[in-house]
Amino acid sequence: MNTPATPAETFFKLVTDWPKTVLLLSLMCIVGLGSFMPQLHKDTSSGAFIADDDPVVVYRDHVRDMFGLEDPIVVAVINDGPQGVFNPDSLKLVDSLTREIGKLANVDPDGVTSLATESNIVGTYDGMDVTDFFEPFPSSQARADEIRAAIDAFPLYQGSLVARDGNATLVVVELLDQDIAQATYDEIMAVVAATAVPEGNQVHVAGEGAIAGYLATYIDRDAKRLNPLAAIIITLVLFVAFRTLVGSVLPNIIVIGTVTAAFGSMAAFGVSFYVITNGLATILIGIAVADSIHIMSQVYEEQAGDPTLSATRQGRSLIAQRALVKMWKPITLTTVTTVAGFAGLYLGAAMPPMKFFGLFAAIGVAAAWFYSILILPAALTLFPLKPSKLFQKGIVTDRYGAGLQRLGGAVLARPGLILAVAAVITMVGIAGTSRVIVQESQIESFQPVEPIYIADKEINRRMDGTYFLDIVIETDEPEALFRPDHLRRIEKLQRYVEEIPAVRGSTSVVDYIKQMHKAVNENQEAYYAIPDDETLIAQLFLLYSASGDPDDFEEEIDTDYSQANVRFNLHVADYQLLTEIVPQVQAYVDNEFNQEDIRAHMSGRVMVNYTWLKTIGDNHVRSLLLSLLFVWIAAAVVFRSMVAGVLSLIPVGMALLLVYAVMGFGGIWLGVGTSMFAAIAIGLGIDFAIHTLERMKELLGARSGSYDERLADLYPSTGRALFFNFAALGLGFVVLTTSEVPPLIKFGTLVAVAVSTAFLASMTILPAIGKLLRPAFLFPQGEIVTSDKRRITTATASVAVVLGVMSYLYVDTARADTALPTGNEIIAQLNARDDGQQVTRVLKMELIDRHGKARVRETLGYRRYYGDEKRTVLFYQSPSNVKGTGFLTYDYPQADTDDDQWLYLPALRKVRRISSSDRGDYFLGTDLTYEDIKKESRVAAEDYAFTTLGSTEVDGHLTYQVEGLPVDAETAQELGYSRVLWNIDPAIWMSRKTEMWDINGNPLKVVRSENIENIQNIWTALRLSAVNHKTGHSTVFTFSEVDYRTPVDDSMFEQRALRRGR
C-alpha cells in the first residue's frame, strides 16, 4: 500500500486537503462566468446561419439598401361575402389597420402598403392621373365597386395586394429592425385584437417577418417551461439512484457550473445565442449529470466498503480521493473524446452557429470535467456524507442492479445472438436513413392550430404568395432600363418564372410601365404592353410624377433607372421545392441575361433560405464524419489501440443510425433544427462506450477467471451507473415530447432515441464483441495470442468496413427511387395529360424544302372535346392563294371508328367529305401525318407494343425512352412506321423528341416538341418541328396566341363554319 503516489493520487489529495479553497475558487469561477450571461444576445434570424461575407448575404444587404426590401409582416383582411373585400366595412377596416399599424415604433411609416396607401393609374384625356384608391374614401358600396373595377383594370395589384377572387386584401408591413420582429408581431396582434372587426371579416397576421421572429419565441416559451421540468425529473432520477440528498443535489451544482461556463464564455466573446443553441444546454446537462453519476456511484461504493470512514472529514477525504482516483480516468477519457467530437464539429461546420455550437459545447464539457474533479471531492470532504442505503453491501443489488445483472448474464451467454440482432437493427437503421430528406419549411415548425400557421396557410391560399424571390436586374448606364428591349427581357423573365407552379405572380417596373401606357391610351387593353419607344417610356415616368409620388416605384427600380428588382410571389417555399426552382431559374437567368450590358442576380428571402439550407445538406455529412474521426482518434489514443477506437464508435454509430432511422421513417426532415441531433448523439453516446470499455478493461485485467466471470461486476456497477445516466437523460428529454412545439417534440424524441440506443449498445454489443473477438487492448498483456490477434484484426477490419458502409450511406441520405416505369405506364401518363377542354390558337406552318426555301401558311385553329370525342377545325388565313381553305375533323375515341373529315376548298365553294382511314398520309403537304396532327402529342396505345428502354437527356431534361413497335403489319402499313422511339419527359408527360423509322426500317423522321411552356396550367409545345430524313424536307409548326380559357362555340365545328371561313 505504500507504492509511490501516482500523479492522480497526489492531485486529489491536494484537492481534498484544501476543500474550502477549491470550492471557493470554483464558485467564484462559476459566478464570474455566470455574470456574463445576461449579456447574451439572442439572434434568431435565419440569416445568422450564413457567414456575413457569404455572397448571398452580401448581395441581399445590397438589395436591401437599394430597394429597401425587408421581410415584411403581412396582415390579411378576408371577406368571403358576395362583394368580397370590396365593401365599405372591409375597406374601412383596412384603412384603420393601416393607420394604427403605421404608428407602431418598429414599423417604417413609409413602409405600410395596402389599398389605403396605394394609387391607381388612370388614363385621362391628356395623359394620366395618379390618384389614391381611397380618394375619396370608400364609405359607400358604389365607391367600393369603383375600387374593385380599378383593381380589375390594374393587373399589378391582382394577387399581390388583392386576391384574384377579390375576397382578401393585404396590409404589408415593413419593419425597421428585423431583430425585434417578434415584439412587433405581438404589437400588431394587439392592434388587431383592439380593432373592431366587422362581421363577415377575418384578420390574419403572417409573413416572413412574423414567422422568423415568432419561431424563436415559440420555441423558447416552451423550452423555458420544460427545461426546468427536465431538471426536476433528472434530480428525481438521481435520488432514485442514490437515495441521498447529497447525491441528488451535488450533480446539479456541476450542471450549473457547466452551463454557466459555456454560456458565460459565449456572452463574454460576444457570440450570439442562436436557435440551435437551445440544444447545447441539453448536452451540457447530460454530460454534467453523467460525470457526476459515475463519480457519486464510485463514492458510495467506496463508502460502503468502509462504512466508518465517512464519519470523519479525513475519512471522507479519503473516500473522495479513492473514488476519484478510480474514476478520473474514465471521466477524463469521456471528456477527451467528447471534446474531440465537438472539435470535429467546430472544424467541419460551415455555418457560424454550428461552429460555435461545437466550440462552446467543448468548453462546457471541459468545464464539467473541471468542476467534477474539483467541486465533487472538495464538497464531499466538507459536508457530511450519509451513506447510501443502496450501496450498503458493496455492489448495489437493488432491482436496477439486479435487472442489469440479469441482462449481463443473458448477453454474455449468447454473444452471437446479440451481434446478430444488432446487425438486423443496423439494417433497419440503414433503411430508415436512406429515407431522410433535407427539407425545411419554417412554417411547419408551428402547430396547425397556432394563429400564425393558420394565417400563413390562408394568406398563401388566397394570394399569390408571401414568400419572395427577388431577381435584381443590373445595367451599367443610367436610364438603361428605359430601353424597350431590356424591358421586354424582363417581361419575358416574368412570364418564364411565373410558369413555375409554385410561383403565382410577380411585380416589376414593367407592370407599372404597361399600366401607364394603357392609361395614356384611354385604358385600351391593347396598350397594356411595353411601348416601342424609349422616349415614350421616359415620358410615362415624367407624367406619373406630375400627379403621383415617384417614390412609389422605389421597390421596383432605382432612382437613376439602371437597376430594377423583379419580385416573384411563391405560396410555398420549402427547401425541396427550392432545390428544383432555384437551379432552373438560375439556368434561365444565365442564358438570357448575364451578357455585357444587362445582368440578373437572384436574391430575396427564398434565395437566402435556399443557400443556407443547401449548406446544411452539403455540410451535414462532412461535419459528422469529421466528428467521428476525431472521436476515433481520441479513443484510440486513450486506449492506445485502433481497435478500441473502432469499438467505441459502435454505440455512437448505432445511436446515429437509429436517430436517422427515426427521422427517415418518421418523416422528420433534416433541416436546421434537426441537423444538430447528430452532434448531440455523438456527444452523449460516446460516454456510454468509453465507460463500458474502460470498466471492461479494468475488470478483465484485475480479476481472474473466465471472461464471463471477470465481467460479472460490469453490469451491476458500471452498468447501473450507466443505466441511471440513461434514465436521467432519457426521461429528462422525454419531457420535451410533451411540448406543443413541434421542433421541441422532435428534439426530445431524437435525444431520447440517441441516449437509449447508446446505452443498450454499450451494454450489449461491446461485451459481446469482447467475448467473441477478444480484442487485445481489453485484456492484460500476453493473454491474447497471435491467432486470436488475426481473428481480432479480421473482426476489426469488418467493423471498419461496416462503419465505412454506414458513412457512405450517410452521404447518400436521399436516395431516389431509380426503377423505371414500364412503357405502358409511361404512355398511359402521356395520354392522361391534360391538354385543355378547348383551345384556340394561331398556327404558322412553315414547309421548308431541302434547299432551305420555305413556304408559309398561317392558320387559325380551334379544338374542343365533346366527352371523349375531339373536334378540330383549321382555317387557312394566308397566303391569299389558300385563304379560306378549311379542314374539319371529328375524332372519335373508339379505335375502330374512322374519323369524319371535311375539306373546304374556296375554289370549289364546296365542302368535300374526305376519307380519313389513311392516317399515315401527310397532312396537307406537311411532314406530319394526319395521325400526328390528330393525336397532337398523344399516342394511340392500341397501335403499339411499348417497352421502356431507359432514360436519357433531351434539351437538358431527363426523359424516359419508350420504344413502340406496331402491333401488326397492317397497322405498320397504315401508320407508315416500323418503329417509333419517344423521349418522354416525366415532368410534363410530353415527348420532347420522337423518332420514326419507315416500314423498311430506315430512319424516316424526327419530330421535336420545343418551346414547351405552361400556359394557363397546361403544358403546351409552342413549336413542333419535323424533319423527314428521306426527302430532306422539314416542317415547323409555330403556335401562338394559345388560349385554353375562352369557350369555343359548337357552331365552329360544323360544315357551315368551313364555308363561312370562320
Partner 1 sequence: MRIIAATNFFATALLSNLLVPAGNLAWAEGFMDDAELSGLFESELAWGRGDVQKAEFVLTPELGVALNDGLQLTIIARFRGDLTDELEPGVPEQRNRSESSRHLFIGDHVDVELREVFIDFEVGDTFLRLGKQQVVWGQADGLKVLDVLNPQSFREFILDDFDDSRIPLWTANAEIPVGDAMLQLLWIPDKTYDDIPQADALFAFTSPLVVPQAPPGLSLGMPITQSKLQRPNAFFRDSDVAASLSAFVGGWDLSLNYAYHYFDRPVIRREISSQGIAVHADYERTHLLGGTFSNVFDDFTLRGEVGYSSDRYFLTDAIGDSDGVVQSGEFSYVLGLDYQGWRDWFVSGQIFQSVMDDHERGVVRNRVDSTATLLLRGDFMNEAVQAEALLIHSLSQDDGVLQGSVSYEWRSNIRFKLGVDIFYGDAQGLFGQFQKSDRVSISAEVGF
Query: Which residues lie near partner 1 (CB under 8 A)?
Result: 847, 849, 853-857, 878-883, 898, 900-901, 906-918, 920-922, 924-927, 1031, 1033, 1035, 1051, 1054-1056, 1060
Task: Return all residues near 844 (Cβ < 8 A) that are at least 6 apart.
Answer: 856, 857, 858, 859, 1037, 1038, 1040
Minimum CB distance to partner 1 smaller for 708 or for 898: 898
429 near 660, Cβ under 8 Å?
Answer: yes
Q: Whole-number minimum distance, CB 880 to partner 1, in Å? A: 3
Q: Which residue, 590 or 849, has its beta carbon nearer to partner 1?
A: 849
- If the CB atoms of residues 35 and 917 are measured against partner 1, the closer one turns out to be 917
Distance, in Å, from the CA atom of 426 to the CA atom of 558, rounded to the nearest integer, reads 58
Least distance (Å) between residue 1034 CB and partner 1: 10
**Within 10 Å of residue 846's Cβ, how many Cβ atoms?**
16
Burial of 1018 per CB tally in 10 Å (0-12, 13-18, 19+): middle
Distance of alpha carbon 93 from alpha carbon 868, whole angstroms: 50
CB closer to partner 1 out of 729 and 882: 882
CB of 977 vs partner 1, minimal distance in Å:
14
Query: For residue 136, is the peptide bond before it cis, meaning its omega torsion is within 30 degrees of 0?
Result: yes
Nearer to partner 1, 439 or 916 (CB): 916
DSSP E strand stretches across 540-680: 563-570, 598-603
Cβ of residue 856: shortest distance to partner 1, in angstroms? 5
CA nearest 920: which of 871, 967, 849, 978? 978
Closest separation between CB of residue 1021 and partner 1, Å? 22
Beta bridge partners of 42: 273
Least Å from the CB of residue 940 to partner 1: 18
Q: How far is the CB of 859 from partner 1 (least distance, A)?
A: 13
Closer Cβ to partner 1, 507 or 1035, answer by number: 1035
Asked if 671 contacts 440 with a C-beta cutoff of 8 angstroms, the reply is: yes
**Is 128 in contact with 543 (CB distance < 8 Å)?**
yes
The minimum distance between CB 129 and partner 1, in angstroms, equals 22
Ramachandran angles phi, psi of 90, nearest 5°: -65, -40
Quick check: 784 and 774 in contact, CB under 8 A?
Answer: yes
- We find the least distance from the C-beta atom of residue 537 to partner 1, in angstroms, to be 25
CB of 607 to partner 1, least distance (A): 46
CB of 926 to partner 1, least distance (A): 7
| CA–CA distance, 999 with 943 (Å, rounded to integer) | 14
Q: Which residue's CB is nearer to partner 1, number 186 or number 998?
A: 998
State how far the Cα of 206 lies from the Cα of 184, in Å rounded to an integer.
12
Kindly list the strands in the beta sheet with 107-113, ordered across the sheet, starting from the edge strand earlier in the chain.
107-113, 168-175, 73-79, 201-206
Residue whose entry in the numeric block shows the C-alpha cell 403605421: 102
Closest separation in Å from C-beta 498 to partner 1: 29
Q: Which CB sits closer to partner 1, 562 or 916?
A: 916
Closest CA to 530 of 511, 543, 545, 546: 511
CA atoms of 659 and 813, how far apart (whole Å): 13
Nearer to partner 1, 139 or 915 (CB): 915
Q: 3-state DSSP call for residue 1044?
A: coil
CB nearer to partner 1: pick between 850 and 1045: 850
Helix, strand, or coil (residue 478): coil
With CA atoms as reference, report the closest residue to 982 among 812, 833, 799, 817.
Answer: 833
Instruction: Report residue 994 as a C-alpha cell.
Output: 420522337
Please, what is the minimum distance in Å from the beta carbon of residue 1056 to partner 1? 6
**Smallest distance, Å, CB 844 to partner 1?**
11
Rounded to 10°, the helix 605-639/786-811 angle is 170
Angle, CA of 108, 110 and 111, to the nearest 5°: 60
Q: How far is 504 from 897, CA to CA, in rounded Å?
A: 43
Beta bridge partners of 944: 966
Q: Using CA of residue 419, residue 421, residue 422, residue 423, what is the dihedral sign?
A: positive
CB of 881 to partner 1, least distance (A): 4
Nearer to partner 1, 442 or 926 (CB): 926
Maximum separation of any 2 CA atoms in the chain, in Å: 127
At its nearest, how many Å lie between partner 1 and the CB of residue 526? Answer: 11
With respect to partner 1, which residue has the nearer C-beta, 888 or 962? Answer: 888
3-state secondary structure (DSSP) of residue 702: helix
Of the two residues 835 and 846, which places its CB atom closer to partner 1 in the complex? 846
Read off the amino acid at residue 626: L
Q: Which amino acid is at 277?
A: T
| Beta carbons within 8 Å of 591's beta carbon, 6+ residues apart | none
* List of residues 6+ apart from 48 with CB closer than 8 A: 272, 274, 352, 353
By beta-carbon proximity to partner 1, the closer residue of 86 and 902 is 902
The CA distance from 128 to 107, in Å, is: 32
CB of 187 to partner 1, least distance (A): 53
417614390: which residue's cell? Answer: 551
List of residues 6+ apart from 414 with CB closer than 8 A: none
Q: How far apart are CA 721 and CA 298, in angstroms?
A: 9
By the 8 A CB rule, do 98 and 171 touch?
A: yes
DSSP 179: G
Nearer to partner 1, 328 or 930 (CB): 930
Shortest CA distance to 770 belongs to which of 648, 925, 865? 648
- Supply the minimum distance, in Å, between the C-beta of residue 921 and partner 1: 6
